[in-house]
């Protein structure tokens, strides 16, 4: 029966949300994940809102596992993942730093993959599909939120990962003339390079993106100038970011 796996997934997600035993919650969520990935994404997408509900789970391990699942869906079923992106933004501000850090890590991976997919679509078809532009708008919100974490008081461990995202952002949008100007072929993966970008799309404008990367580099420089007020681990991270960005 076509509805049986979906019904089973729905029952497992309900258990992950409501059961009193943490082991049962984690097991139910893992089983639900397996079923969701066995379904066609277009059939599974209406179950995604039940995943979003798990962001309010009182158990740290459930929220961390949810982020793993959001990351996997973001990579394997990107076209249908926009509904899950609010989870990243919500859990960036989680009271548990382990969850907040995982949100930065997962969101950073999705950010890079969405950027690459947008670039490849534009090269192949001269346009970017609407669902992907919507997904990128979530990535822009994620970027702004992580930048804010990097610049405001808070957990040193979380700020460290936020600073690493700033470094990633600078590296993504800084020209490397040693790289090819052509994007990778479909189905292969290689580090994104801004030389892939061409004019003609409002989001994928290389000059505005490089300008924003330069502004981000200045943010890192300003942080370095105020290093006396930073924990030593953050100072080291900022220095490393500056060094990587200048390579």
Ranges of each domain in the chain: 3-246
Question: What pLDDT is attached to residue 142?
Answer: 97
Class assignment of domain 3-246? mainly alpha
Residue 12 near residue 32, CB atoms below 8 Å: yes
CA distance 195 to 218: 22
Q: Which positions ≥6 away from 61 have C-beta within 8 Å?
A: 22, 26
Question: What pLDDT is attached to residue 109?
Answer: 95
- Per-residue pLDDT tens digits for 188-222: 444 676 777 766 667 777 888 888 888 888 888 77
Q: Which residue has the higher pLDDT, 107 or 230?
A: 107
Query: From residue 247, how far is each of 109, 196, 217, 239 by CA, in Å?
Result: 22, 19, 13, 13
Tokens of 50: 């039940």
- Per-residue pLDDT tens digits for 92-110: 999 999 999 999 999 999 9
Q: For residue 83, give the 3-state DSSP assignment.
A: helix
Question: What pLDDT is attached to residue 187?
Answer: 45
């Amino acid at each position: 029966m076509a509805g049986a796996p979906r019904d089973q997934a729905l029952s497992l997600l309900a258990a992950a949300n409501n059961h009193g035993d943490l082991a049962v919650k984690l097991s139910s969520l893992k089983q639900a994940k397996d079923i969701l990935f066995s379904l066609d994404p277009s059939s599974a997408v209406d179950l995604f809102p039940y995943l979003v509900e798990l962001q309010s789970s009182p158990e740290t391990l459930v929220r961390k596992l949810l982020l793993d699942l959001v990351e996997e869906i973001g990579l394997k079923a990107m076209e249908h993942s926009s509904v899950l992106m609010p989870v990243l933004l919500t859990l960036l501000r989680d009271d548990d730093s382990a969850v907040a850090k995982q949100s930065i890590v997962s969101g950073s991976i999705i950010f890079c993959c969405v950027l690459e997919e947008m670039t490849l679509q534009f090269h192949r078809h001269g346009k970017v599909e609407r669902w992907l532009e919507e997904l990128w708008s979530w990535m822009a919100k994620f970027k702004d939120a992580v930048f804010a974490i990097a610049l405001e008081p808070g957990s040193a461990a979380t700020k460290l990962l936020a600073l690493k995202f700033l470094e990633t952002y600078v590296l993504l949008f800084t020209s490397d003339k040693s790289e090819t100007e052509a994007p990778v072929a479909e189905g292969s993966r290689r580090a994104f390079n801004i030389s892939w970008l061409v004019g003609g799309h409002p989001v994928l404008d290389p000059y505005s993106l490089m300008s924003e990367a330069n502004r981000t580099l200045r943010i890192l420089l300003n942080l370095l100038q105020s290093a006396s007020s930073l924990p030593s681990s953050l100072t080291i991270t900022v220095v490393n970011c500056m060094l990587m960005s200048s390579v």
